[in-house]
Amino acid sequence: MSNQPSIWDEVRQIADELELKIHLAGMDARDQWRALKPKITDIEQRIASSSEQAGQAITKELTAMGDALRKLRDEVYDEMHELKH
C-alpha cells in the first residue's frame, strides 16, 4: 500500500491534465474520458477507506488506470498535434 500515494498522484495528475485538454479532442477521446472519469472517482474513494488487504487490489487498479490514462493522453496529444498541421 505504500506505493499507492505515488501511483495515485501520477494518475490524478494525468487525469487533471486530460480534463483540461479533452474539450479539444475528438469524440472517441471524449467517450473514453467519460468512461474513465467515474472509475477515477471510485478508486479515489476506495483509497480513502482502504485497508492493507484491499490496498494491493487498489494498487493493481491504479496501475491499470494509469496505463489507460497515459494511452488516452497520448492519443489526445497526437490528435491535437495533427490538427495544428
pLDDT of residue 10 exceeding 70: yes
Give the chain's mean pLDDT: 82
Taking residues 60-75, report their average pLDDT: 90
Residues spanned by the domain of 70: 4-84
pLDDT of residue 71 exceeding 70: yes
**Residue 25 DSSP symbol:** S
Helix axes 27-48, 52-84, angle to 10 degrees: 160
CB 66 within 8 A of CB 11: yes
41 to 15, 37, 46, 75: CA distances (angstroms): 11, 7, 9, 22
Task: Give the helix/strand (H/E) hosting 79.
Answer: helix 52-84
Structurally, the chain folds into a number of domains equal to 1
Output the nine-digit C-alpha cell for 24.
479539444
Q: Is the pTM of this model over 0.85?
A: no
